[in-house]
Structure 1
Amino acid sequence: MTNPGWGGAASEGTPPQPRCIRHPDRPTALSCTRCGRPSCPECLREAAVGYQCVDCVAAGQKDVRPVRNVAGAVVSSQQPTPWVTYALMAANVAVFLITAAQARSIMQNYVGSSLFQAWALWPRGVVDGQLVRIIGSGFLHFGLIHIAVNMFALWIIGRDTELILGRARYFVVYFASILGASAAVMLFQLGAVTAGASGAVFGLMGAQAIILLRLRRSPAPVMTVIAINVFISVTIPGISLWGHLGGLVTGAAATAGILYGPQLLGAGKNRDKAVTVGWVCLGAVVLVALAIIAIRILQLRALVGY
């Protein structure tokens, strides 16, 4: 005789246990409180009320507008890794190692390196059409100490600036600062051969000063660092003062366009429009730097004997 409470024929009428909607091979007694579909523990996430499946969680996140900081960058609950800063540092180090290998010296990598000779900012070369010098010079360095100082400064300044501006805007500000440094050299330092990431680093210093002003915090610390570095640029021979100042002004102007441009153009209350206006202002700074370089090239080509 079969006991109706234990297996056997009586168990044949028991309905099968529901299967997870994402894993049909997993029986489950749980379900999503939002859509009601059966889900295994792996596919459920804790919600304000009950648990929701991963599909409902993803759908809910699409409906929530992202929180943005003062520069329009998306704010995350976890501090993002400043990958752009690390990538720029890696690129600078890679170029330095190439020049050092070509010159067979880490202290005099600028002697006997074909890459250094091709990329160093020499205004006459730019006038002759060697435009790669305008950007390439920003990744060259005169010896180990030069790159060590610049990369340390980039590591200190770049990470925080990237987190505030966001990766894309930070990347453009960095390259805009290189353009500004090259434009200043083309205007005021025709007889020099310059190289280094210092112009970009000065640009990030200017960016930090503008960011602090926008956050209504004192820019005195970064302004002090800028003043000390300008003093060093003036007093120590062989340092490109104009390259530093050009990068500083361009980086500050680009960041001011991002942070203050939307307010000046009446887009401050609309966050999406403000981000767009910030990009337009940033692009305008880049175009101005390029225009200065282009006009200067035409002027120098018109000079007899240059």
Structure 2
Amino acid sequence: MNPQPPAPTCYRHPDRPTGLGCTRCGRPACPECLRPASVGQHCVECIQQGQKDVRQARTVGGASLSQRPQPYVTYVLIAVNVLIYAITALQAGNLMDNRASDLFRQWRLVPAFVGDGEWFRVVGSGFLHYGLVHLAVNMLALYMLGPYCETALGRGRYLAVYLASLLGGSAAVMAMVDPLTATVGASGAIYGLFGAVAVIMLRTRQNLTQIAVLLAINLILSVSLPGVSIWAHLGGLAAGTLSAAGILYLPRLLRAKTQSTAAAIGWGSVAVVIVAALVVTAAFAPTLVY
């Protein structure tokens, strides 16, 4: 009589005889190492491999859909703007008119002062506002546009586009505005988001009528209302539009074959816009006299 062959043992626990096995790879496994599947049962290693093989769902901008629920970057930007306004209002002792604040005077964008080496004004001025109404209007626009851009582009790229738009607005002011004129506000960055939204909608083949009408109304107000810096708006609009176009269109034009390559091209295009804005700022700042 032939001896009965030994029972197979679990591939992960050699001391455990088992009559079960993975229906995917066929290896014997104990109940602890198996998981129910749509057909049969799979071992833990096959489950892990299957999860790696599944392509992660992404937006048109390459952002993971896991970032979709909460636009945290937008909320942080709004909080920073509100906090800085609160500081300036407290320093000025006036909730509605904060221009007497020391921080306000130190951060406002005056091209002559930037030419004198105070480069922090190029970014700092984008977080200042003339009065509570100016702050409220800009933060409402940021609240409306920001989450849409943040979802489509992803948090990192969205923040980069915002920064590029802010710097683009400042560069336009440096190039086109009187050296002693003070400019403040997040409008340059927000107009950049207008451009980014338009590019995203164009890339996803959505109707552009609403965003085009809204942008046209804002541009008309920029020209019509006194004290509004049209150049900051146009500079921010151009920078945001170019940055978003680089993220969404350039990888296709260059035929990027992998997601990592497409992401690198997108980041590179935003970096080019930022560098260009800084070059324009530097080119005009040294020639300013006050």
Task: Indicate the TM-score class for this superposition, using the shorter chain for normalisation.
Answer: 0.7 to 0.9
| Structure 1 residue 233 corresponds to structure 2 residue 222 | yes
Residues in 2 aligned to 1:263 and 1:201: alpha-carbon distance in whole angstroms: 26
2:129 to 121, 125, 141: 141
Q: Cα deviation per residue 1:211-259 (whole Å; 9 max; x = unaligned)?
A: 1111122222111111101100111100111111111111001001111
SS in 2 for 1:81: coil
Q: In 2 relative to 1, CA 38–224 (structure 1 residues): closer, same or farther, beyond 3 Å?
A: same
Q: In 2 relative to 1, CA 270–100 (structure 1 residues): closer, same or farther, beyond 3 Å?
A: same
Residues in 2 aligned to 1:157 and 1:271: alpha-carbon distance in whole angstroms: 26
Q: CA RMSD in A?
A: 2.6
Where does residue 66 of structure 1 map in the other structure? 56
Opposite residue 227 of structure 1, the aligned amino acid is A
Matches within 5 A, 1:86-125: 86-111=75-100, 113-125=101-113
Opposite residue 140 of structure 1, the aligned amino acid is L
SS in 1 for 2:98: coil
Larger CA deviation: 51-60 vs 159-168: 51-60
Residues in 2 aligned to 1:63 and 1:256: alpha-carbon distance in whole angstroms: 30
Number of equivalent positions: 269
SS in 2 for 1:228: helix
Residues in 2 aligned to 1:201 and 1:54: alpha-carbon distance in whole angstroms: 48
Q: Cα deviation per residue 1:268-287 (whole Å; 9 max; x = unaligned)?
A: x4333222111111111111
Matches within 5 A, 1:187-198: 187-190=175-178, 191-198=180-187
* Contact kept? 2:115, 2:287, Cα under 8 Å: no
Higher relative contact order (CA 8 A, sep 6+): 2
| Structure 1 residue 249 corresponds to structure 2 residue 244 | no
* Contact kept? 2:125, 2:183, Cα under 8 Å: yes
| % identity of equivalent residues | 50
Deviation, 1:39, is 4.5
Residues in 2 aligned to 1:132 and 1:65: alpha-carbon distance in whole angstroms: 43
Q: In 2 relative to 1, CA 47–108 (structure 1 residues): closer, same or farther, beyond 3 Å?
A: farther
* Contact kept? 2:107, 2:128, Cα under 8 Å: yes
Residues in 2 aligned to 1:103 and 1:244: alpha-carbon distance in whole angstroms: 27
1:132 to 120, 133, 152: 120
| Structure 1 residue 174 corresponds to structure 2 residue 162 | yes
Residues in 2 aligned to 1:281 and 1:217: alpha-carbon distance in whole angstroms: 24
Q: In 2 relative to 1, CA 264–104 (structure 1 residues): closer, same or farther, beyond 3 Å?
A: same
Residues in 2 aligned to 1:147 and 1:248: alpha-carbon distance in whole angstroms: 19
Deviation, 1:296, is 1.2
Where does residue 13 of structure 1 map in the other structure? none
Residues in 1 aligned to 2:142 and 2:251: alpha-carbon distance in whole angstroms: 28
TM-score computed with the length of structure 2 as normaliser: 0.84
2:268 to 280, 289, 294: 280
* Contact kept? 1:121, 1:134, Cα under 8 Å: yes
Residues in 2 aligned to 1:57 and 1:118: alpha-carbon distance in whole angstroms: 58
Opposite residue 194 of structure 1, the aligned amino acid is T
Where does residue 215 of structure 1 map in the other structure? 204
Opposite residue 157 of structure 1, the aligned amino acid is L
* Contact kept? 1:39, 1:53, Cα under 8 Å: no
SS in 2 for 1:222: helix
1:206 to 195, 204, 208: 195
Unaligned runs of 5+ in 2: 1-12, 14-20
Q: In 2 relative to 1, CA 46–169 (structure 1 residues): closer, same or farther, beyond 3 Å?
A: farther
Deviation, 1:47, is 4.5
Deviation, 1:55, is 7.8
Opposite residue 275 of structure 2, the aligned amino acid is L
* Contact kept? 1:32, 1:39, Cα under 8 Å: no
Opposite residue 61 of structure 2, the aligned amino acid is A
Opposite residue 254 of structure 2, the aligned amino acid is L
Residues in 2 aligned to 1:146 and 1:53: alpha-carbon distance in whole angstroms: 60
Q: In 2 relative to 1, CA 146–62 (structure 1 residues): closer, same or farther, beyond 3 Å?
A: same
Unaligned runs of 5+ in 1: 1-20, 22-30
Which is higher, the Rg of structure 1 or of structure 2?
1
Residues in 1 aligned to 2:208 and 2:124: alpha-carbon distance in whole angstroms: 31
Where does residue 3 of structure 2 map in the other structure? none
Residues in 1 aligned to 2:72 and 2:53: alpha-carbon distance in whole angstroms: 28
